[in-house]
């Protein structure tokens, strides 16, 4: 290969003389054993442990970011006035006949990290930090959803009191409330909490809540047919009119024509209260969930009079009724001399559920028909995410409308009114938030309070852990309500009895269907996406059960090792061990839940699973499980970087470009998220593995567009302008970034292309973070004039420069090298939700380089950009290699897609 003597070079095989003896001898195995003693090493990792970061992987990137302010200013100037934060209250209620729904807001604590990198980048790009007070109204924070039984209003009052939700920002707050209880219990609130209730119209609230959810939450609405759940992409421009059917205690049907434009067109007194009330009387059930669970084991044909009962077992096919169609709900009870005790409660519950669901479905259909509406959204807690209920309603709509109308359900089904009441606070800016500024999380804190209807979030970590411990002692499986197998339809206007009898509905002790809604106004859509509307980050859709099972197993098997790393990263103390165990159980519970119902948290892709794992770690206060490993690998790699650079500089430009790309691919092998790679690390030193990996870099790679890229870089017949600015989405710490991406960045800089290193905002596996990068760059710059000049020009060396004495400092006129955070805390990246900082630098970029499996394969492999794009990764998983590139583990991808 063009005089590159692989066998004698670092790039090749054996040069060791310059490698720091010590680093060379450290095997990864040794690292893990030494982790616990690595206190001094740890101190060198930038300080990162602030409280915000511990709880949300879409961090509050910069609440006061001027770019965002600009946008918001155009839409609603009042949001930005800092003084207005005073009259924001944090709680809204919907007090219904059966349940009290709470929606409350918690603001993030301030971010204390003094991030110099960010400041300089902001100055550069005019994303000025500004001196705005950080606490402007509602922007930046979380929305929580909690419910209580209305009969237990005292528990609700206690909850509000314990969280001081009634105080808001000042002491004489009013609380917005809707539902009948807003009238009924106003005095009680005054007496117990000293607050006034401001009543909001219930219909107004339902509509406002539904409109907000349909516009702002990506995976809110779904269809549910024959056990199959499918999320519906709502086109905001084609949302109205729709029929909103809210099935609470009673049922309201509202024709919605726009924001605040609606009419209550119908309703029925036979609703959720009827099912629960009659059901309780007839079955002696103690809770709604018990009643619902009974229904799953029921056979309604012992209670209902079926067509077959009347027609001697025959279908009445002339009018399209099968023998199993219900002719008369509870009709069998008339003809026999049986008493209530003679019927199975299970059968009664199912009969009742079907009666009421069909009836509501039918009235909804008739109403929609009368108004010429095709879409019907169902809300209210009667539905309770219960598969059979939804299937029954869907069937009724489908059957009566002959497929002309469609039933859709909402994940936040019961919270429409409460959300609407919350929206009615003025000037909080919530209604201005857009899809990409909301991130839903499923924390482990919300869930398990033991059989009660509500799940007040367990805010306290200790509480959470001890709950986990208790739970495990009890040996109960941690799951939320799980739909039973789909009922079979007869095709002739009725259902058979539910087919799966053994499968019971788990009580909703977990509240897992609805997460916490993080409001992150500083998130933006990556401006270089060719078509954000059709963009789908996930390459692998886990709707395929085989795929889900495979990744479930991979992640489960990786868990013990991850816990060890996490515990070690926190000093291996007893407390860390406890937290580690709790984390493992919590994450396993999420996985188990998702195995049973993959769409429980919205549409599920592999990226979501990987992010959930990081999120879950943070929830148990493991902020950076791989910190020691990252640090070690950075050090080892920085030690050999000068040699590598020297070798590269000895090559022709053309050879160098290839060598650089090979270098990136080879160094991507350092990935602690891949089982295969971790096994490999036990067999050699960092440098040995790096060399081995380099040696394997034979072209053609499995996906190899290198020639096209090379041509674009000026090594062809056509003349091309150099790129103005390149965004390099970097992946792992250590060799990956130091020996792979940094040399590539240097090459671009040398050619006069500005380089922005785009790195994670929060740690994920061994990925390098934006906070860690400046120090790494500074270290590398000590031995390289190009990097030094560029880093200086990019404002990265402001502090680090003080330590560099060997060369005189002159005002640098170099092409700048910068670092920005991407807004994520996951190994993957969803380009619909990136930091405002990244969005700002992207505007002048004409080259995007995505590196690593997470960013370039699991996500974004199929993403199209407005500018040139290069996707580089080594595939470190056999199954993915087979599926995605019809290749093998350790194959490489170099995918180049020019702007079109
Ligand atoms: N845990 C529960 N306790 C009581 N009712 C429940 C529960 N879960 C679901 N439901 C159903 O939800 C209905 C109440 O729905 P909801 O939307 O809260 O209406 P409302 O505002 O009238 O209370 C109940 O009548 C019952 O059918
Ligand atoms: C988590 C990862 C996406 C990180 O890869 P990277 O982006 O660092 O290349 C990758 O390690 C992965 O897909 N792991 C799957 C589990 C396994 O193969 O063991
Ligand atoms: Mn990675």
**Tens-place pLDDT, residues 199-221:** 999 999 999 999 999 998 888 99
Higher pLDDT, 162 or 79: 162
Omega of the bond leading into 700 within 30 degrees of 0 (cis): yes
Task: Work out the angle at residue 611's Cα, subtended by the Cα atoms of residues 549 and 232, and round it to the nearest 5 degrees.
Answer: 75
User: What is residue 50's predicted lDDT score, i.e. its pLDDT?
Assistant: 30
Q: From ligand 1's centre to the CA of 501, what distance in Å? A: 25
Ligand 1 atom index nearest CA of 147: 18
554 in ligand 2 pocket by Cβ < 6 Å?
yes
The alpha-carbon radius of gyration of the chain (Å, integer) is: 30
- Which ligand 2 atom minimizes the distance to the CA of 610? 1
Q: What is the mean pLDDT of residues 33-59?
A: 35
* Ligand 2 in reach of 674 Cβ (< 6 A): yes
Q: How confident is the model at residue 604 (pLDDT cuts 50, 70, 90)?
A: very high
Token reading at 505? 């509905």
- 73-91 CB burial, b ≥16 within 10 A, e <16: eeeeeebbeeebbebbbbb
Q: What is the Å distance from ligand 1's center to 715 Cα?
A: 69
- Which of 7-21, 218-232, 323-337, 390-404 has the lowest average pLDDT? 7-21
Segment among 158-162, 355-359, 373-377 with least mean pLDDT: 158-162
Residues of the chain with pLDDT > 70: what percent? 77
Residues with CB under 5 A from ligand 3 (ion): 731-732, 767, 827, 852
Q: What's the average model confidence in pLDDT over 505-526? A: 69
Pocket residue to mutate for ligand 2, from 849, 877, 889, 891, most atoms within 8 A of Cβ: 877
Q: What's the confidence (pLDDT) of residue 165?
A: 85
Ligand 2: centre distance to CA 673 (Å):
4
Helix (H) or strand (E) holding 818: strand 817-821
- What six digits make up the tokens of 497? 């009895």
Ligand 1 centre from 147 Cα, in Å? 10
pTM: 0.83
The pick from 103, 249, 283, 416 for probing ligand 1's pocket by mutation, whose C-beta has the most ligand atoms within 8 angstroms, reads: 249
Closest residue by Cα to atom 1, ligand 2, is 673
Which residues, at least 6 apart from 510, have a Cβ–Cβ distance to it below 8 Å? 446, 447, 448, 455, 478, 479, 480, 589, 593
For residues 838 and 818, is the Cβ–Cβ distance under 8 A?
A: no
The residues near 349 (Cβ < 8 Å, ≥ 6 apart) are 279, 282, 283, 285, 291, 292, 294, 295, 298
Ligand 1, atom 24, lies closest to the CA of: 272
Q: Please, which residues have CB within 8 angstroms of residue 136's CB and are 6 or more apart in sequence? A: 63, 64, 79, 80, 81, 82, 84, 85
| CA pair distance 744, 737, nearest whole angstrom | 10
Q: What is the mean pLDDT of residues 716-731?
A: 93
Q: Which two tokens stand for residue 197?
A: 């209730």
Whether this model's ipTM surpasses 0.85 comes out as: yes
Identify the band that residue 312 occupies on the pLDDT scale cut at 50, 70 and 90: confident
Helix (H, G, I), strand (E, B) or coil at 882: helix
pLDDT of residue 518: 83
Find the 666 Cα to ligand 2 centroid distance in Å.
15
Q: Where are the beta strands (DSSP E) in 108-149?
A: 141-149
Alpha helices in 570-652 (DSSP H): 574-596, 606-619, 627-649
Q: Give the model's pLDDT for residue 556.
A: 95
Beta bridge partners of 728: 757, 849
Please tell me the number of the ligand nearest to residue 860's CA: 2
Q: How far, in Å, from the CA of 329 to the mean position of ligand 3?
A: 58
* Adjacency order of strands within the sheet including 868-874: 703-704, 892-897, 868-874, 847-851, 725-729, 754-759, 817-821
Angstrom distance (rounded) from CA 144 to CA 55: 14
200 lines ligand 2 (CB under 6 A): no
List ligand 1's pocket residues with C-beta within 6 A. Answer: 96-99, 149, 179, 248-249, 272-273, 275-276, 288-289, 380-382, 384, 414, 453
Mean per-residue pLDDT over the chain, rounded: 81
Lowest mean pLDDT among 95-99, 199-203, 518-522: 518-522
Kindly give the distance from the C-alpha atom of residue 627 to the centroid of ligand 3, in angstroms, as a whole number.
13
Ligand 3 center–CA 760 separation, angstroms: 10
Q: Tell me: pLDDT of 53 over 50.
A: no
Select from 553, 668, 669, 827 the residue to mutate for testing ligand 2; criterion: most ligand atoms less than 8 Å from CB: 827
Pocket test for ligand 1, best of 99, 275, 287 (most atoms within 8 A of CB): 99
Q: Is the CB of 858 under 6 A from ligand 2?
A: yes
Ligand 2 centroid to 28 CA: how many Å? 18
Ligand 2 centre from 677 Cα, in Å? 9
Band (pLDDT 50/70/90 cuts) for residue 516 is confident
Position in ligand 2 atom list of the atom nearest CA 670: 8
| Residue 285: pLDDT over 90 | yes
User: How far is the centre of ligand 1, averaged over its atoms, from the C-alpha of 233 (Å)?
Assistant: 27
In the predicted structure, residue 674 carries a pLDDT above the cut 80: yes
CA distances from 134 to 49, 80, 483, 523, 847 (A): 20, 10, 44, 16, 34
Nearest alpha carbon, ligand 1 atom 4: 288
CA of 880 to the centre of ligand 2 (A): 10
The gap from C-alpha 353 to its chain's centroid, in whole angstroms, comes to 34
**CB-ligand 2 contact for 668 (6 Å cutoff):** yes
Which residue puts its alpha carbon closest to atom 19 of ligand 1?
248
Atom of ligand 2 nearest to the CA of 732: 8
Q: How far is the CA of 677 from the centre of ligand 3 (A)?
A: 12
pLDDT for 633-649, tens place per residue? 999 999 999 999 999 99
Is the four-CA dihedral 231, 236, 237, 240 of positive or negative sign?
positive
pLDDT band at 430 (very low <50, low <70, confident <90, very high): confident
| Nearest listed ligand to the Cα of residue 562 | 2
Task: State the sign of the Cα–Cα–Cα–Cα dihedral 771, 776, 777, 781.
Answer: positive
Q: Tell me the mean pLDDT in the region 802-824.
A: 73
Atom 15 of ligand 2 has which residue's CA nearest to it? 674
Model confidence at 83, pLDDT cuts 50, 70, 90, reads very low
Whether 600 is in the pocket of ligand 2, judged by its Cβ within 6 Å, is: no
Choose which residue among 93, 94, 96, 98 to substitute to test ligand 1 binding: the one with the highest number of ligand atoms within 8 A of its C-beta.
98
Give yes or no for a contact between 96 and 417, defined as CB atoms under 8 angstroms apart: yes
- The Cα diameter of the chain in Å comes to 104
Burial of 223 (0-12, 13-18, 19+ CB in 10 A): middle
Q: Is the peptide bond before 241 cis (omega within 30 degrees of 0)?
A: yes
Q: 38 pLDDT band (50/70/90 cuts)?
A: very low
Give yes or no for residue 727 having a pLDDT over 90. Answer: yes
Ligand 1 atom closest to the Cα of residue 453 is 1
The residues with which 784 forms a beta bridge, in sequence order, are none
Taking the centre of ligand 2 as the mean of its atom positions, its distance from the CA of residue 826, in whole angstroms, is 11
CA of 674 to the centre of ligand 2 (A): 5
Q: Is 854 in the pocket of ligand 2 (CB under 6 A)?
A: yes
Rounded to the nearest angstrom, the distance between the alpha carbon of 214 and the centre of ligand 3 is 34
* Pocket residue to mutate for ligand 1, from 92, 280, 382, most atoms within 8 A of Cβ: 382
Separation in Å, CA 310 to CA 326, 331, 354, 376, 417: 10, 11, 19, 33, 44
pLDDT (mean) for 316-328:
82
């Amino acid at each position: 290969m063009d005089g590159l003597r692989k066998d004698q070079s670092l790039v090749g095989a054996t040069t060791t003389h310059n490698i720091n003896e010590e680093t060379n001898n450290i095997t990864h195995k040794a690292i893990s054993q030494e982790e616990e003693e690595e206190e001094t090493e740890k101190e060198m990792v930038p300080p990162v442990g602030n409280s915000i970061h511990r709880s949300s992987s879409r961090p509050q990137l910069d609440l006061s970011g001027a770019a965002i302010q600009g946008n918001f200013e155009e839409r609603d100037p009042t949001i930005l006035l800092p003084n207005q934060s005073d009259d924001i209250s944090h709680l809204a209620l919907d007090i219904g006949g059966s349940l009290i729904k709470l929606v409350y807001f918690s603001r993030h604590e301030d971010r204390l990290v003094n991030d110099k990198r960010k400041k300089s980048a902001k100055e550069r790009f005019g994303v000025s930090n500004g001196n705005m007070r950080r606490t402007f109204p509602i922007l930046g924070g979380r929305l929580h959803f909690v419910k209580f039984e209305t009969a237990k209003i005292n528990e609700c009052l206690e909850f509000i009191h314990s969280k001081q939700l009634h105080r808001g920002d000042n002491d004489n707050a009013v609380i917005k409330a809707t539902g009948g209880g807003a009238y009924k219990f106003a005095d009680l609130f005054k007496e117990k909490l000293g607050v006034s209730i401001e009543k909001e119209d219930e219909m107004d609230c339902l509509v406002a809540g539904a409109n907000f959810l349909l516009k702002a939450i990506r995976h809110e609405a779904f269809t549910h047919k024959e056990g199959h759940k499918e999320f519906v992409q709502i086109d905001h421009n084609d949302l109205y009119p729709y029929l909103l059917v809210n099935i609470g205690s009673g049922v309201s049907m509202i024709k919605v024509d726009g924001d605040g434009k609606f009419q209550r067109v119908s309703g029925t007194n036979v609703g959720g209260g009827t099912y629960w009330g009659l059901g309780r009387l007839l079955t002696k059930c103690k809770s709604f969930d018990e009643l619902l669970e009974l229904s799953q084991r029921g056979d309604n044909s012992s209670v209902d009079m079926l067509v077959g009962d009347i027609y001697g077992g025959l279908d009445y096919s002339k009018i399209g009724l099968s023998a199993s169609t219900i002719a008369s709900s509870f009709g069998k009870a008339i003809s026999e001399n049986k008493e209530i005790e003679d019927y199975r409660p299970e059968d009664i519950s199912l009969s009742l559920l079907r009666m009421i669901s069909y009836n509501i479905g039918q009235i909804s259909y008739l109403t929609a028909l009368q108004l010429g509406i095709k879409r019907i959204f169902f809300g209210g807690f009667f539905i309770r995410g219960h598969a059979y209920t939804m299937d029954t309603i869907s069937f009724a709509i489908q059957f009566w409308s002959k497929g002309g109308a469609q039933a859709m359900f909402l994940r936040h089904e019961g919270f429409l009114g409460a959300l609407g009441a919350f929206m009615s606070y003025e000037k909080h800016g919530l209604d201005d938030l857009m899809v990409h500024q909301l991130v839903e999380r499923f924390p482990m804190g919300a869930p398990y309070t033991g059989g009660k209807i509500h799940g007040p979030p367990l805010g306290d970590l200790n509480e959470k852990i001890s709950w986990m411990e208790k739970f495990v002692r009890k040996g109960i499986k941690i799951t939320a309500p799980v739909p039973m197998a789909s009922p079979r339809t007869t095709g002739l206007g009725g259902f058979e009895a539910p087919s799966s009898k053994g499968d019971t509905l788990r009580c909703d002790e977990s509240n897992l269907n609805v997460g916490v809604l993080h409001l992150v106004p500083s998130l933006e859509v990556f401006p270089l996406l060719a078509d954000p509307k059709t963009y789908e980050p996930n390459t692998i859709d886990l709707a395929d059960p085989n795929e889900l099972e495979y990744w479930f197993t991979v992640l489960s098997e990786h868990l013990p090792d991850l816990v060890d790393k996490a515990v070690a990263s926190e000093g291996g103390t007893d407390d860390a061990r406890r937290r580690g165990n709790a984390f493992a159980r919590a994450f396993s519970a999420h996985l188990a839940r998702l195995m049973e119902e993959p769409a429980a948290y919205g549409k599920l892709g592999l990226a979501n699973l990987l992010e959930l794992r990081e999120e879950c770690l943070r929830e148990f206060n493991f902020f950076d499980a791989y910190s020691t490993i990252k640090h070690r690998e950075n050090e080892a790699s920085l030690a050999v970087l000068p040699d590598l650079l020297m070798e590269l500089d000895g090559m022709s430009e053309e050879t160098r470009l290839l060598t650089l790309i090979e270098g990136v691919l080879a160094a991507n092998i350092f990935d602690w998220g891949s089982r295969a790679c971790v096994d490999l690390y036990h067999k050699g030193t960092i440098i040995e593995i790096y060399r081995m990996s380099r040696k394997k870099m034979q072209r053609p790679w499995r996906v190899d567009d290198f020639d096209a890229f090379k041509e674009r870089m000026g090594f062809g017949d056509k003349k091309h302008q150099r790129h103005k600015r390149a965004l390099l989405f970097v992946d792992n710490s250590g060799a990956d970034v130091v020996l792979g991406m940094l040399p590539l960045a240097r090459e671009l800089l040398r050619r006069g292309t500005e380089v922005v290193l785009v790195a994670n905002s929060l740690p994920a596996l061994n990925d390098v973070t934006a906070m860690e990068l400046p120090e790494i760059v500074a270290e590398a710059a000590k031995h390289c004039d190009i990097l030094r000049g560029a880093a200086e020009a990019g404002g990265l060396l402001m502090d680090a420069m003080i330590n560099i004495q060997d060369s005189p400092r002159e005002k640098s006129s170099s092409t700048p090298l910068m670092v920005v955070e991407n807004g994520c805390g996951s190994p993957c990246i969803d380009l619909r939700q990136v930091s405002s900082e990244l969005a700002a630098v992207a505007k002048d970029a004409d080259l995007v380089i995505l590196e690593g499996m997470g960013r370039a394969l699991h996500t974004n492999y199929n993403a199209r950009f407005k500018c040139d794009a290069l996707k580089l990764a080594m595939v470190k998983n056999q199954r993915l290699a087979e599926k995605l590139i019809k290749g093998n583990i350790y194959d490489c991808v170099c995918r180049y897609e020019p702007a079109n």
